[in-house]
Structure 1
Amino acid sequence: MTRHLIDRGDGASVELFQARPESETPVGAILFVHGNQGGRLIGAKEAVDAGALVRFCSGLKITAAAVSQPGFGGSDGPADFCGPDTQRAIVAALSFLREQPAVDPSRIVLYGNSRGAVASAMVATQAPDLRAVILRSGVYDLKAAYETGSKGLRWAIEQEAGLTSDAFLARSALYHAQRMRAETLLLHGRLDERAPVAQAERFSDALSEAGVPVTLHVFECGHDIPREYAQMAQRSFLQRMFDPIVTFH
């Protein structure tokens, strides 16, 4: 496991953790983008502590990495609620991975959770060379989420993003779906109290209309999708993205 500080492109630092397989042959890579962390603000270390990087690296024989959003972990802030700086941080992390000798740049999967799904969806509209995108418990029309959201969500959007039309548009992948190219897997809870399932349903329809291969899995759960549910849905998807594959646990 290695930790890197990379340049966002504007002098700000972006924290990235990376686990690499032993093989010297270039293989695929997956980049995780965390969600809100209840005030802990540990960023990408969440994936390290949970064992996700080691698990995906050893199970799929790929490079597994996680990036800290601005204002989280060791990445420079302030946070901008999935806005341009957050998107630039993710783009910088993807660029870093593409340049690694052990990574096949044509087989990189971007995996965003919750807040990370909002930003990852926007990045996917700007990165046509991604192999695939997995978006878990995200919102894709931020203005609609703000209008129906909890007091805490509304406060965070007000403080970090502002309420202008441009601010909402820059964080709402639904309105940029025609620019996406990567195959997309959407994971969502039917009882999600933070991100209504209609958000995923509308985004899935928009991607399908734009000709993007998309699969939506809706689970009988809330915002936090149990790991076993997600694993069941994403196992065959990831094996296909990283074919040839080994057994994933």
Structure 2
Amino acid sequence: MKLFWFVLLLGYSAQSTALSWPGFAKQQSCLELYPTYQQLVDEVRTYTPWYSLDHWLMPWLLPKDQFEVTQHQLHCAQLEYQSDNLLVQAWGLQPNSKSTKKRPVIIYNRGGNAALGRLDFVSVLRQLSPLAQQGFIVLASQYRGSVPKDQQTYGKDQFGGDDVNDIHQLIELAKQLPEADADNIFLYGISRGGMMSYLTARQRDDIRAMAITAAPTDLVTELPRLPEMELIFRSLIPNYDQNKQQELEQRSVLYWAEELPASLPVLLMYGGEDQRVHPENSQRLAAKLTELQRPVKLIEFTDADHLLTDYKEQEREAMLQWFRQHQQNEQKAATAP
């Protein structure tokens, strides 16, 4: 009899997990990945040199309170989904408390390329979990090519080519989630993720608002500043050497800013001391959108670096305020002309 109830409970648990992320090819809960905080600490220590201060201060550097909240107050999972007959990895988080209202969705677009910049569980705790705690469903694609050793299954990163389809597909999957509000889809992109956000928004009319941090907007003028990026472009962008100018412009929003949805509110944030993406990228786009009479807001963190390392809370609060300001609620929809 006890075995019967155990099997029944196990089946119910598996069903509950499956219902959390319908439409995804694979999902594994964060609680299964890291049952205890100490297990996470031990794993991170394996790739942190024993002689570094970070190795010994790991329990203080990893947010334990965020770990507890993520594991016990959120549905958190490592996901896989299909895009163009490839498998793409992702993370998903949503509040596990029941709500009578649909939840807005943030599509988080990471920086980096290929495996560089992949979101690990520590990144989830620090960057994604705080957003889900505010009542949002959060989905973050790793993009195709994030598993370079298996390109047949997981594809190859094209740095703003066909990999943009991975974000489109993630948005469509988000709309299938039972608690997702399809009328309130937001894009949040950092660095290269900002470029991916522009490319995505260019082809859609269902993005409610967008927040971008330190993203390149003109790769043509950025390349002379960082000539080492040419090696990355050449290795990732198809036909780069044959169509260099065209491929760089296609990935640079300043060359087609007027093609963004006219009513799309755009928040631009950047660090005044950014050494990787020049502040002019955000400044020039803000000026262009203003010239086009588009809703745009520009925030400079004067002495901040590329990732706004010392200003993450301020960045997050500005972004959340922007999304809430432009969120369409039922009352607004009912009174709209």
Match of 2:306 in 1: 223
**1:202 aligned residue:** 284
Q: CA deviation at 1:156?
A: 1.0
**Higher mean C-alpha deviation, range 136-145 or range 207-216:** 207-216
Deviations 1:139-190 (A, max 9, x none): 0111111122242x22212221224232112211112211212211111111
| Among candidates 223, 229, 236, match of residue 160 of structure 1 | 236
Segment of structure 1 superposing worse, 107-116 or 167-176 = 167-176
Where do 1:148-187 residues align within 5 Å? 148-151=225-228, 153-161=229-237, 162-163=240-241, 164=243, 165-181=245-261, 182-187=264-269
Amino acid at match of 1:224: L
Equivalent of 2:133 in 54, 58, 80: 58
Higher helix share: 2
Letter in 1 for 2:154: D
Contact kept in structure 2, 1:143 and 1:168, CA below 8 Å: yes
Q: What does residue range 1-249 of structure 1 map to in structure 2 within 5 Å? A: 1-8=76-83, 10-21=84-95, 22-24=97-99, 25-36=101-112, 41=116, 43-45=118-120, 49-59=124-134, 61-72=135-146, 76-81=154-159, 83-151=160-228, 153-161=229-237, 162-163=240-241, 164=243, 165-181=245-261, 182-220=264-302, 221-226=304-309, 227-242=312-327
Distance 1:11 1:232 in 2: 37
TM-score by length of 1: 0.86
C-alpha deviations, 1:15-59, integer Å up to 9, x for none? 22211222343120101111117x864624367533433211122
Aligned with 2:163: secondary structure? helix
Structure 1 unaligned blocks of 5 or more: 245-249
TM-superposed deviation, 1:114 = 0.7
Quote how far apart the aligned CAs of 1:73 are. Answer: 5.5
Residue 243 of structure 1 deviates from its aligned partner by: 6.8
Cα shift readout 1:185-236 (whole Å, capped 9, x = no counterpart): 1111112111111111111122222332111111122212131331343242
Greater shift in the superposed pair: 84-93 or 50-59 = 50-59
Matched residue SS, 2:256: helix
Aligned equivalents of 1:73, 1:242: Cα separation in 2 = 35
Q: CA RMSD, aligned part only?
A: 2.3
Give the length in aligned residue pairs: 239
Amino acid in structure 2 at the alignment position of 1:229 = Q
State the alpha-carbon separation in 1 of the partners of residues 292 and 205 from structure 2: 14
Q: d(CA) in 2 for partners of 1:127 and 1:47?
A: 31
With a CA cutoff of 8 Å and minimum separation of 6, indicate the structure with the bigger relative contact order: 1
Q: Residues 122 and 44 from structure 1, CA distance in 2 versus in 1: closer, same or farther, beyond 3 angstroms?
A: same
Q: Any idea what SS the aligned residue of 1:131 has? A: strand
Contact 1:34–1:112 under 8 Å retained in 2: yes
State the alpha-carbon separation in 2 of the partners of residues 6 and 134 from structure 1: 25
Q: What one-letter code is carried by the residue in structure 1 that aligns with 2:260?
A: M
Residues 27 and 124 from structure 1, CA distance in 2 versus in 1: closer, same or farther, beyond 3 angstroms?
same
Distance 1:32 1:114 in 2: 12
Structure-2-length-normalised TM-score: 0.65
Q: Structure 1 100/49 Cα, relative in aligned 2: closer, same or farther at 3 Å?
A: closer
Residue aligned with 1:5, SS: strand
Q: What runs of 5+ residues in structure 2 fail to find an aligned partner?
A: 1-75, 330-337
The answer (yes or no) to whether the contact 1:190–1:219 under 8 Å persists in 2 is yes
Moved more, 223-232 or 44-53: 44-53
Q: Does structure 2 retain, via aligned residues, the 8 Å contact 1:47–1:53?
A: no
1:139 to 1:34, Cα distance in 2 relative to 1, 3 A: same
